Structure formats: structure tokens, C-alpha cells
Chains A and B, each alone.
Chain A
Amino acid sequence: MIHSVDTDIVVLGAGPAGLAAACAALEAGARVLVLEREDRLGGILKQCIHDGFGLVRYHERLSGPEYALRDVDRLERLGAQVMQEAFVSSTRRVDNGFELTCVDRGGVFAVRALALILATGCRERTDRQVFVQGDRPAGIYTAGLAQYMINIQGVLPGRRAVILGSGDIGLIMARRMTLEGMDVVAAHEVKPEPSGLSRNIHQCLEDYGIPLELSSTVTAVHGTKRVERVTVASVDGSMRPIAGTEHDIPCDTLILSVGLIPENELAQSLGVPLDPATKGPFVDQTMHTLVDGIFSCGNAVHVNDLADYVSESGEHAGASAARYVARRRDAPVTGMATRTLVPVRVDQGFLYAVPQYIDTSTLTDAVMYFRARRTMPSGAVVTAEAGGKTCFKASYPLVRPPEMERFVIPHDTLMGALAARRDDEGLGLRMEAR
């Protein structure tokens, strides 16, 4: 008979999303168990030593570890049950919730819970997921791995680096490697515009005279044991390399900053439907997935640009999971009120919007996050409507796919519009050029 733990809510992952979710659920009176695979809490923030975190949430400019410590301290004050170096090996539904089989240093144990909060974050796209020809010697690192090596392990990944991609972590690492004495030759971005935040282009590349080559990519890696050089080429409008533009850059390191993908293996094993646009679970405005009792938050749902918004969604998930658990305890299984989900439908102007559903049976405001499909240099007007009633309208001076936007529809306005809708209609989001 294996050891078994009973709780209300299991939070999987103790990065910014999981920490906020656990705190919010505890504050709402639920019993919470946090499972974290690493030996320290904080997730990726532990290695994000640069500052700029917390401007939205605390109106302060904090480094990653400082930002994480605020939630870690809060969690400690609330007296959470936390298991570190703990993994989930299998999951199954039981009559009244979920049973997880877990492993930690003490061995195998079972956890029973009424609700799960998946705060599993995202993973970096690797060299296997981008089209680069040639050899695979040592010296090819994702930006996050290079960050771990420098900031946690205290070792340099190499001496002379080329960066492929212009994601924020790649830009941050261009500066970090320069400060640590490495020679950063250039960052090559296949798209015609950078994918990182403008401020990072300025303070990480321009400050140190590192060129950003747009519409340019690494087409091949050369080297036997270690990277010796890479071939770069300009690309056309369809991102295909243009013959005759190739040239070689001698270097011993190639850093990849080519995107992040929500991590949802566990969600998939539990049958949680995922949105192909975000690669994360479909959720309603309470961060409840389409599977009853399973919530998700943070970068597992969609990749955010700011930790502050990851935490925000964690707070929502934690509070709503606690409400769910309280209802579940009060009602026999069969007596649970079912959710009434209205789909959020976006037009072609959007890459995606989260949440994808509105649960009309709950009293919460809808915090909407979205990304534009294309850069709209003259700005965009976004409206939300149902049944011919506009419940939100705002003008944005500039929208770009790399920069996530956020707005809030108050509960009563939202319900007013949804009440007027026709049966098959959802909440419609429209984006028009200004």
C-alpha cells in the first residue's frame, strides 16, 4: 500500500503561475499541495537575473529572483504544503476528482484531489524544431540553456556567438554574454521585424553595438566536434533563403531564440482539449479548462511576454479552483451545476485571444489577452460584441504580434451583451485598422 496524500487542489509547477495560483487558492480557504520538479521554487525566474519584472503587479522594477521571492514568501506565510523534486508519473480520474501517482526522493506516493491547476509553463523550441542544415556539433544552445549555464552554473557557453532569432531571451542573452566577455557577432531574425520587445532591442543590442539582421537566417552549421562556423543568408518574403546571399561567420556558439511552446503533456494525458492557435488548453475566464475540475494558467495556456500577466492568470486560476472545490464539497457529484460556456470568436485580425470561452454562470469579470496577427503601424480598434451590443471598445496606437495586449470586460457589461445574443452566437472580437 503506497503512501497517499489527500488535498483539495494540486498545483503542478511552482513558477510564477503556480505560485500565484497556490497563494490565491490558500487565501480563498482551500487546502493546497504544490508539486515542483526542481529543488527550488520560482521556475524560470530563478535564472532571469535581469530586471524589469513586477512593473505591472508591484509598480517596481525587480529582477526575476526578487519577483519570485515575493510569491515564495507569501506561500510560506500561508503555510502551503510543498513537495520539491517531485514528478507526476500518471494521472487518472476517480469518482470525486483525480488521483495522481507521483515520485519524489522518498519514493512513489499517491495524491487525491478535487481539482488540479496545471501551471507547467512552456519549453523552448530547439534546433530539432527549426530548419537548419549541416552538422550538429557541440556549441548549439537554446537561449534559456545558455542563461542557465551563465547565471546558475557560472560557466560560459563559448567565446564567440551568433544568435538565431530575436525573442526576448535571446536579446537578454546577447547582452549577458557581452557583459561576461563573449563576442556576440549578430542576431539574425528570419522575419522582417524583431520578435522581442522594442526596449530589449535598445538596451540589449543597440547599447552594445550588436547588429540585428532582419529577414536573415542561419541556413547551416559547420563543425566536427565543436561549432566552427555558421552560414547565414538573406531570405525573401516567404522566408526562403535567397541564393547568392550566403556567407559564413566563424563562431563556436549558436544561440537559438526561436520561440516558446506551452508544455501540456500532462494536460493531454488527462484529455484536456488544446487550442491549436495557442497550443495551450481552451479556458474560460476563470481559467477552467474544458475538463471539469482542471484549471490552467500562465505560459501553459499561452506564451506571455510578461511574468506579471502569468501571475495574474495564476491568481484567477487559484481563486476559481477554490470556488469550484467549495461548490463541489457542498453538492453531491450529480448536483454540480454545469457551466454554460459561450465561445469567444475572433476575426482574422487576431492571432489568438484568451480565454476562448465565457462561463455565463460565474460572476467574474473577463480579463482578455490577445495578440494581433500582423503589425498594424497606424494602430487598431478592438471591439467586443454580442447580439449587436458592443460591450468593449478600445483603440491601440500600435499592435504587433510580439506584444500581448490585455483588456477587461466588467461582468455586468459582458452579461448584458451575452443576454442579447442569438442562440448560436458567441462573443465576437473584431480588429480594424485605425
Chain B
Amino acid sequence: MMECKEFTCIACPRGCRLVVTVDDGVASVSGNACPKGATYGAQEAVQPMRTLTTTVTVEGSSRRRLPVRSSADLPLSRILDAMAALDPIVVRLPMRRGDIVVPDLLGLGVDIIATDNLAAPTSGVAQDADP
């Protein structure tokens, strides 16, 4: 069975208009200006994959959120599940960019990693006053 799909490539800001033909599970991509587009188009036709970027709660700092992202793309269909799984996560400082916040999220084979540096709060502030 032959199937033809059209997408905007999201691999870079250029936004090429891709036409992807899937014939018997084999995808051929046209309209791409670079090899990234071919990879993206072939994947997009079968199972769209996305990088997740979001924030998690920080404990005991005036900085309330730590920005994070997935270490690799995950299925678009699992993005909302991933958000739900990250909702209860609370991190303690310090955190450095690249630190793993959640390993192997939902068994998807991707880690959630910090994308910013957050120093531990300086002393003198009651950090854990609430029981």
C-alpha cells in the first residue's frame, strides 16, 4: 500500500516542505534541502518524535523552576504522559547543566536532563523550615 504525506520539516528554522511516500514500510522523502530532512521526514511518516522541554520544581531556592529537556527525542504520542510523570519531580540544588534529573523516563530510553546551572542557596535562609 502506498501512502503520501506532507510535513513541514522542524529540523532547522528553514522549514522545508517535505513530501514523504511510504511504500510497504519504506519511506522516500522529497523537498528536503539537507540529509536531516530526509531522516526527519522518514521518521515523521511512521512515528513523529519530539524533544520535550519543560521545567521541574526546585526545592528550597528563590529560583522556583529548573529548565530541563529530554536527552533525545521521544514519541510525540507520549509527550503528555512524560509531562504527567515529571509533575511530581522535585529537585534539590545544586544542579548543573547536563545533570540527569530523571533517568530513562517511562522506560522510553531517554533521560531528563538539566539545561541550566542552579547553585545551592547561600546559607542564612531557612530552606527546610516547613516539615
Residues of A within 8 A of B76 (CB): 207
- Given known pairs A50-B53, A51-B53, the reply for A63 and B15 (CB within 8 Å) is no
Check if B21 is an interface residue, CB within 8 A of chain A. no
Q: Contacting B10 at CB < 8 Å: which of A153, A154, A202? A: A202
Proximity bits, A178-207, B CB within 8 Å = 1, else 0: 011000000000000000011101110001
Question: Looking across the interface, which residue of chain A has its beta carbon closest to that of B116?
Answer: A65
Contact A151 B51 (CB under 8 A): no
Q: Is the interface of B mostly helix, strand, loop or mixed?
A: mixed
Total CB contacts across the A-B interface at under 8 A: 73
Residues of B within 8 A of A250 (CB): none
Interface window among B22-30, B62-70, B121-129? B62-70
Residues of A within 8 A of B48 (CB): 207
In the complex, what's the smallest C-beta–C-beta distance from A202 to chain B, in angstroms? 4
Check if B32 is an interface residue, CB within 8 A of chain A. no
Contact A306 B13 (CB under 8 A): yes
Q: Contacting A51 at CB < 8 Å: which of B57, B65, B69? A: B69
Question: Looking across the interface, which residue of chain B has its beta carbon closest to that of A397?
Answer: B33
A202–B7 CA distance with the chains assembled, in angstroms: 8
Which of chain B's residues 64-121 have a Cβ closer than 8 Å to chain A? 64-65, 67, 69, 76, 79-80, 83, 97, 115-117
In the complex, what's the smallest C-beta–C-beta distance from A316 to chain B, in angstroms? 21
Contact A63 B8 (CB under 8 A): no
- Given known pairs A49-B67, A63-B67, A65-B115, the reply for A154 and B57 (CB within 8 Å) is yes
Residues of B within 8 A of A306 (CB): 13
Check if A239 is an interface residue, CB within 8 A of chain B. no
Contact A199 B116 (CB under 8 A): no
Which of chain A's residues 46-65 have a Cβ closer than 8 Å to chain B? 46, 49-52, 55, 61-65
Q: Contacting B65 at CB < 8 Å: which of A61, A66, A151, A201? A: A151
9 CB < 8 A contacts A-B? A49-B53, A66-B97, A69-B97, A153-B64, A197-B15, A199-B13, A202-B15, A305-B13, A403-B13
Measured CB to CB, the residues of A under 8 A from B are: 46, 49-52, 55, 61-66, 69, 150-154, 179-180, 197-199, 201-203, 207, 305-306, 403
Measured CB to CB, the residues of B under 8 A from A are: 7-10, 12-13, 15, 17, 48, 50-51, 53-55, 57, 64-65, 67, 69, 76, 79-80, 83, 97, 115-117
Extra contacts besides A51-B69, A55-B13, A66-B116 (4): CB < 8 Å: A63-B69, A66-B97, A151-B55, A198-B8
